[in-house]
């Protein structure tokens, strides 16, 4: 929309910002409303600024008045904008604007040292004019001129809010106003025109940009530091010297330490020649600190002489005796070339170190990796590797959570196909490492037992049996628990394994197996029990006297014949009272005859009483009893 004030001008028509609230469409969302509000306000400021720069008295211009009206219609006060060198921000977000004057105004305000601009109440046209006058460069403000806020207040612009961050002292010659940002340094040299000294401008501009960086903008920080470091080397030597001395003097300040740290040893060595004698010790001190912090040897403390010594050594190495050195070094290194086994051992050791360094969560991950490596090696039939991995894992399980992690991972890793691989290796005669036995014993014994039951090949079965016997010696519990399994053949295998362990825990289980539904199991259990614990076997043998299986009763009698105890005698007495078949009766009497217990004697006497009307079997029993009482002659 063109300017309609009627004022004649040869300037191009200035577009007028839309009034607040005239946006097309329905009411915007709150965030959008705030954004559009900020845009409208900035546009209004830009228009007003342009009017100020174009017209002698912008208050006569309709566009200026509209801008003032716009700024006076903000929904609430105080209302502020952040001022940056490239534009305005509101609520931390850049304000989009179509006005070219907005960027120029932002630069002008920023260059004047203001970081925030706002209104405590609807501003008047005069308020805006005072502001624009304050930020325009009409000349160099004297060094003792008041702050912008004071200046505005003194001029009657009381509705403006300004917050300063720096103060412009001069405009560099040759640059347009508002386009250079040169805040005063903390210690200005009154005798030196700052703006003509690139080193001062360098420091000031670097410091300003450093402070303008947002927290967390690490990329911006890097670009800033690198950019200023690179540009340092394009300065004339005398400027470099002055700047470098400043860096050294102020190296405890973070911004300058960052620059100083950028210099390589080559850079420092070169710059050291340029420094004044009074500063040189600072360079040494800095280099010493830097070298210590980087963990280097004390080359930095005496940079130049030590460096020369090292250079001489390199030259000497390469020129005199290079062939000899090459041979010697080559031989030394070739002697250390590791083979595959050493490489593997190093890998296992590294895994151990990793598990030691890890926290519990990391340990769990590593346990998974190592468990599956152990299992993988087992599956391939490489028991040595499996043992190495397994051993590392077991050794690393030093706390309860880690033990649990290892258990979980190994139980998951030792799948049936892994055991197939193990079985194959065993069948080929490979001796399993103790750690592989331990792994199976601790984490896969049940699975291994199941695998055993379906193994038909006798060679593989025998090899597996031997392996499981070794495993069961470590941990017989799972086998004992399964002695109640209804599958007779399985339990027979279990008994066979347990018999080989010699472990005490097997005994209680075998006792239970003597009550197994399968008579073969009962007989085998009783047989093995007698070999392990004859006294326990005797008491069970007494119970076995009532076994429905005749062969088992005979077996029991045989056991009792080989053992003697009061309990056995009482059992035999009860057995005889149950009127077993004659042969078993006679066998029982024979056992009792060897006993000297009262029970045995009383039983024999009772049996020896004559019963003329008894059956032939009874009379035979009676005769055997009398014979036993009389010392065994019948």
Interaction with another protein in 89-108: which residues (CB under 8 A)? 103, 107
Q: Which one, 143 or 345, has the nearer CB to another protein?
A: 345
Regarding 507 and contact with another protein (CB under 8 A), the answer is no
Regarding 353 and contact with another protein (CB under 8 A), the answer is yes
Count of residues binding another protein (CB under 8 A)?
88
- The alpha-helical segments, DSSP class H, found in 174-263 are 198-212, 218-232, 237-249, 254-262
**Contact residue for another protein among 78, 91, 236, 362 (CB under 8 A):** 362
**Contact residue for another protein among 5, 36, 69, 382 (CB under 8 A):** 382
Regarding 412 and contact with another protein (CB under 8 A), the answer is no
Closest distance between another protein and the C-beta of residue 198, in Å? 13
Residue 136: partners with Cβ closer than 8 Å, 6 or more residues away: 52, 53, 108, 177
Residue 570: partners with Cβ closer than 8 Å, 6 or more residues away: 542, 599
Give the 3-state secondary structure of residue 217: coil
Closest distance between another protein and the C-beta of residue 250, in Å? 14
DSSP per-residue letters across 483-515: GG-S-HHHHHHHHHHHHHH--THHHHHHHHHTT
Total Cβ atoms within 10 A of residue 491: 25
Closest distance between another protein and the C-beta of residue 208, in Å? 11
Tell which residue, 68, 95, 84, has the closest CA to residue 160: 68
- Half-sphere exposure (CA, 13 Å, Cβ side) for 189? 10
**Contact residue for another protein among 161, 283, 366, 438 (CB under 8 A):** 366
Q: Which one, 100 or 630, has the nearer CB to another protein?
A: 100
Q: Which of residues 217-236 bind another protein (CB under 8 A)?
A: 218-227, 229-230, 233
Closest distance between another protein and the C-beta of residue 523, in Å? 46
**Contact residue for another protein among 336, 616, 633, 634 (CB under 8 A):** 336
Q: How much helix, strand and coil, in percent to the nearest 5, is found in the chain? A: 65, 5, 30
DSSP per-residue letters across 438-483: HHHHHHSHHHHHHHHHT---HHHHHHHHHHHHHHHHH--HHHHHGG
Q: Which one, 4 or 343, has the nearer CB to another protein?
A: 343
Closest distance between another protein and the C-beta of residue 85, in Å? 6
Task: In whole angstroms, give the CA distance from residue 137 to residue 460.
Answer: 99
Give the 3-state secondary structure of residue 221: helix
Regarding 267 and contact with another protein (CB under 8 A), the answer is yes
The first and second tokens of residue 120, run together, are: 């405590």
Residue 225: partners with Cβ closer than 8 Å, 6 or more residues away: 258, 259, 262
**Contact residue for another protein among 2, 21, 78, 86 (CB under 8 A):** 86
CB 527 within 8 A of CB 535: no
Task: In whole angstroms, give the CA distance from residue 103 to residue 99.
Answer: 8
Q: Which one, 123 or 421, has the nearer CB to another protein?
A: 421
Regarding 324 and contact with another protein (CB under 8 A), the answer is no
Q: Which of residues 244-263 bind another protein (CB under 8 A)?
A: 254, 257-258, 261-263
Task: In whole angstroms, give the CA distance from residue 243 to residue 226.
Answer: 16
CA 513 to chain centre: 50
Q: Which one, 184 or 376, has the nearer CB to another protein?
A: 376
Dihedrals phi, psi of 82, to nearest 5 degrees: -90, 140
Closest distance between another protein and the C-beta of residue 303, in Å? 11
**Contact residue for another protein among 78, 147, 304, 313 (CB under 8 A):** 313
CB 371 within 8 A of CB 393: yes
**Contact residue for another protein among 11, 98, 326, 562 (CB under 8 A):** 326
Regarding 266 and contact with another protein (CB under 8 A), the answer is yes
**Contact residue for another protein among 66, 99, 385, 402 (CB under 8 A):** 385
Q: Which of residues 192-211 bind another protein (CB under 8 A)?
A: 209
Of 339-347, 511-519, 528-536, 549-557, the window that binds another protein (rule: CB under 8 A) is 339-347
The first and second tokens of residue 386, run together, are: 């499996």
CA 245 to chain centre: 44
CB 468 within 8 A of CB 496: no
**Contact residue for another protein among 78, 188, 338, 632 (CB under 8 A):** 338
Q: Which one, 226 or 605, has the nearer CB to another protein?
A: 226
Q: Which of residues 141-180 bind another protein (CB under 8 A)?
A: 175, 179
Q: Which one, 7 or 296, has the nearer CB to another protein?
A: 296
Q: Which one, 177 or 505, has the nearer CB to another protein?
A: 177
Closest distance between another protein and the C-beta of residue 366, in Å? 6
Regarding 430 and contact with another protein (CB under 8 A), the answer is no
* Backbone torsion region of residue 502, taken as left when φ is above 0, otherwise alpha when ψ lies between -120 and 50, otherwise beta: left
CA 155 to chain centre: 63
CA 198 to chain centre: 49
Q: Which one, 363 or 467, has the nearer CB to another protein?
A: 363
Of 331-339, 421-429, 571-579, 616-624, the window that binds another protein (rule: CB under 8 A) is 331-339
Closest distance between another protein and the C-beta of residue 95, in Å? 14
Q: Which of residues 566-605 bind another protein (CB under 8 A)?
A: none
CB 81 within 8 A of CB 88: yes
**Contact residue for another protein among 31, 304, 350, 614 (CB under 8 A):** 350
Closest distance between another protein and the C-beta of residue 540, in Å? 47
Q: Which one, 143 or 318, has the nearer CB to another protein?
A: 318
x/- track of binding to another protein for residues 109-148 (CB under 8 A): ----------------------------------------
Q: Which one, 287 or 607, has the nearer CB to another protein?
A: 287
Q: Which of residues 269-298 bind another protein (CB under 8 A)?
A: 293, 295-297
Sheet strand arrangement including 114-119:
93-94, 87-90, 79-84, 114-119, 160-164
Q: Which one, 309 or 459, has the nearer CB to another protein?
A: 309
Of 84-92, 144-152, 438-446, 549-557, the window that binds another protein (rule: CB under 8 A) is 84-92
Q: Which one, 12 or 295, has the nearer CB to another protein?
A: 295
CA 359 to chain centre: 8
CB 147 within 8 A of CB 167: yes
Residue 517: partners with Cβ closer than 8 Å, 6 or more residues away: 486, 488
Of 81-89, 194-202, 245-253, 411-419, the window that binds another protein (rule: CB under 8 A) is 81-89
Residue given tokens 């010696």 in the structure block: 473
Dihedrals phi, psi of 12, to nearest 5 degrees: -65, 150
Regarding 305 and contact with another protein (CB under 8 A), the answer is no
Task: In whole angstroms, give the CA distance from residue 582 to residue 229.
Answer: 114
**Contact residue for another protein among 37, 83, 348, 367 (CB under 8 A):** 348
């Amino acid at each position: 929309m063109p300017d309609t004030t009627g004022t004649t001008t040869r300037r191009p028509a200035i577009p007028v910002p839309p009034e607040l609230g005239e946006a097309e469409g329905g009411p915007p969302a709150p965030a959008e409303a705030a954004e559009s509000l900020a845009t409208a306000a900035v546009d209004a400021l830009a228009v007003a600024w342009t009017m100020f720069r174009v017209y002698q008295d912008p208050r006569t211009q309709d566009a200026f008045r509209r801008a003032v009206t716009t700024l006076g219609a903000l929904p609430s006060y105080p209302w502020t904008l952040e001022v940056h060198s490239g534009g305005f921000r509101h609520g931390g977000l850049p304000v989009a604007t179509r006005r070219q004057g907005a960027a120029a105004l932002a630069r002008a305000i920023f260059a004047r040292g203001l970081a925030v601009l706002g209104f405590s109440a609807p501003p008047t046209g005069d308020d805006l004019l005072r502001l624009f006058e304050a930020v325009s460069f009409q000349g160099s403000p004297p060094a003792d001129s008041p702050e912008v806020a004071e200046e505005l207040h003194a001029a009657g612009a009381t509705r403006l809010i300004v917050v300063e961050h720096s103060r412009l002292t001069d405009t560099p010659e040759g640059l347009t106003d508002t386009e250079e940002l040169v805040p005063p340094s903390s210690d200005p040299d009154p005798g030196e025109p700052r703006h003509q000294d690139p080193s001062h401008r360098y420091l000031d501009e670097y410091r300003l940009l450093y402070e303008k960086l947002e927290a967390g903008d690490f990329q911006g920080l890097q670009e800033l530091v690198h950019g200023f470091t690179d540009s340092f080397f394009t300065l004339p030597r005398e400027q470099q010297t002055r700047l470098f001395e400043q860096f050294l003097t102020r190296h405890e300040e973070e911004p300058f330490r960052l620059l100083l740290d950028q210099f390589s040893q080559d850079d420092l060595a070169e710059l050291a020649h340029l420094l004044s004698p009074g500063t040189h010790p600072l360079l040494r001190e800095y280099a010493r600190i830097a070298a210590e912090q980087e963990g280097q040897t004390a080359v930095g403390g005496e940079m130049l002489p030590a460096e020369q010594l090292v250079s001489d050594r390199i030259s000497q190495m390469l020129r005199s005796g290079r062939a000899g050195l090459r041979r010697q070094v080559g031989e030394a290194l070739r002697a250390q070339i590791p083979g595959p086994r050493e490489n593997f051992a190093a890998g296992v050791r590294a895994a151990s170190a990793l598990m030691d360094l890890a926290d519990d969560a990391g340990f769990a991950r590593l346990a998974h990796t190592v468990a599956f490596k152990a299992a993988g090696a087992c599956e391939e039939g490489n028991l040595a590797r499996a043992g190495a991995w397994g051993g590392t894992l077991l050794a690393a399980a030093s706390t309860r959570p880690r033990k649990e992690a290892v258990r979980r991972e190994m139980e998951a890793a030792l799948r049936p196909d892994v055991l197939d691989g193990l079985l194959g290796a065993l069948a080929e005669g490979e001796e399993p490492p103790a750690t592989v036995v331990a792994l199976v014993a601790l984490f896969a014994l049940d699975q291994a037992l199941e695998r055993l039951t379906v193994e038909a090949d006798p060679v593989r079965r025998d090899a597996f049996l031997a392996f499981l016997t070794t495993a069961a010696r470590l941990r017989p519990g799972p086998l004992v628990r399964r002695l109640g399994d209804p599958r007779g053949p399985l339990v027979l295998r279990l008994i066979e394994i347990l018999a080989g362990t010699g472990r005490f825990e097997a005994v209680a289980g075998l006792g239970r197996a003597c009550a197994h539904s399968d008579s073969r199991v009962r007989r085998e259990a009783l047989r093995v029990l007698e070999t392990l614990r004859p006294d326990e076997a005797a008491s069970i043998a007494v119970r076995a006297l009532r076994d429905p299986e005749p062969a088992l009763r005979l077996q029991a009698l045989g056991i009792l014949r080989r053992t003697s105890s009061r309990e056995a005698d009482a059992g035999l007495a009860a057995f005889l009272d149950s009127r077993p078949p004659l042969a078993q009766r006679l066998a029982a009497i024979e056992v009792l005859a060897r006993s000297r217990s009262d029970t045995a004697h009383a039983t024999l006497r009772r049996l020896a009483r004559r019963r003329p009307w008894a059956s032939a079997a009874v009379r035979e029993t009676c005769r055997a009893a009398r014979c036993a009482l009389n010392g065994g002659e019948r």
